[in-house]
Amino acid sequence: MKTLIGIPARYGSTRFPGKPLAKIAGREMLLRVWDNALKAASKFQGCEAAVATDDERIMEFCRTHGITAVMTSADCKTGTDRIVELAESFAAKPEFVVNLQGDNPICPPWFVEAVIKAYEDDNTAETVTPVVNLSWNELDRLRENKKATPFSGTTAVFDNKGDAFYFSKNIIPAIRKEEKLRETMPSSPVFRQVGLYGYRFDVLKKIAALPEGVYEKFEGLEQLRWIENHIKVRCVKVDYRNFAAMSSLSGVDSPEDIARVEAVLAECGEF
């Protein structure tokens, strides 16, 4: 099976210009993401990684560091559009495509591996995303975080096959008789979604052509557009292993996030 791990990397971030080339503990963020992609790709036959960018400065960085990269159109509106264009640039088209964000240097490589393996195990899966079961303490922390930033952290509910019913910026499911459940359940029933996606390539092209969904507008979650259009989103369970401190972080959105990531790396070490 030919698999592509695509890494969209834009230079012109409004809040953090030049973000992919910002250094984290002495190494550029894009280089860290690339290394994680290679670690995951090495576990699968026919799997390769490539960066998709619209900026010559990032292309030059990739050339200097031996990173496979493709210059995509400046007209790409989203990272999804950029990944489609990247995949289309290969003579041998991939069967499965993973979108690994270039601003997420602390996405463990085994999360990427889990996404690819979920499709290898069941190629009827149309899209795949990782979810993490929150401990009760992690659930408490998420609730506290949402007091300050209500739209941080996405949760998911799914069926016994792993196909999602819904994703929300609210914490779902609601939990009746929680105090009693805390005494009997070792972890909470809440799963936080990780912002990483894998797509069957034909489904990815279909997604790129879909208009914005009704619930997507409300929640700001593009995967709700897929569900509205009867595209299944397979949730695969993952955990942070010995890097639990990373569970409270997502991607790098601002210069302040660099210090947070460096602190976690200092605590947990490198992957």
Predicted local distance difference test score (pLDDT) of residue 17: 83
Q: What total number of domains does the chain contain?
A: 1
Q: What is the pTM of this model?
A: 0.93
Query: What letter does residue 152 receive in the DSSP assignment?
Result: S
- pLDDT tens digits, residue range 64-103? 999 999 998 877 777 788 899 999 999 899 999 999 998 8
Is residue 192 pLDDT above 90, yes or no? yes
Give residue 109's pLDDT band: very low, low, confident or very high (50, 70, 90).
Answer: very high
In this structure, are strands 164-168 and 197-200 parallel, antiparallel, or unpaired? unpaired
Predicted local distance difference test score (pLDDT) of residue 242: 84
- pLDDT tens digits, residue range 210-264? 999 999 999 999 999 999 999 999 999 999 988 877 777 777 877 888 888 888 8
- pLDDT tens digits, residue range 110-135? 999 999 999 999 999 999 999 999 99
Amino acid identity for residue 136 in this structure: W
The answer for residues whose C-beta is within 8 angstroms of residue 87's C-beta and 6 or more apart is: 4, 6, 93, 94, 97, 201, 204
In this structure, are strands 3-9 and 47-53 parallel, antiparallel, or unpaired? parallel
Q: How many contiguous H segments (helices) and E segments (strands) does the chain have?
A: 10, 12
Tokens for 223, please give them: 């995967």
Give residue 194's pLDDT band: very low, low, confident or very high (50, 70, 90).
Answer: very high
Who has greater pLDDT, 210 or 148? 210
Do residues 265 and 24 make contact, with C-beta atoms less than 8 angstroms apart? Answer: yes
> Rounded to an integer, what distance in angstroms lies between the CA atom of residue 115 and that of residue 162?
12
Write down the mean pLDDT value for the chain. 92
- CATH number for the domain spanning 47: value is 3.90.550.10
Q: Which residue range forms the structural domain that includes residue 241?
A: 3-268
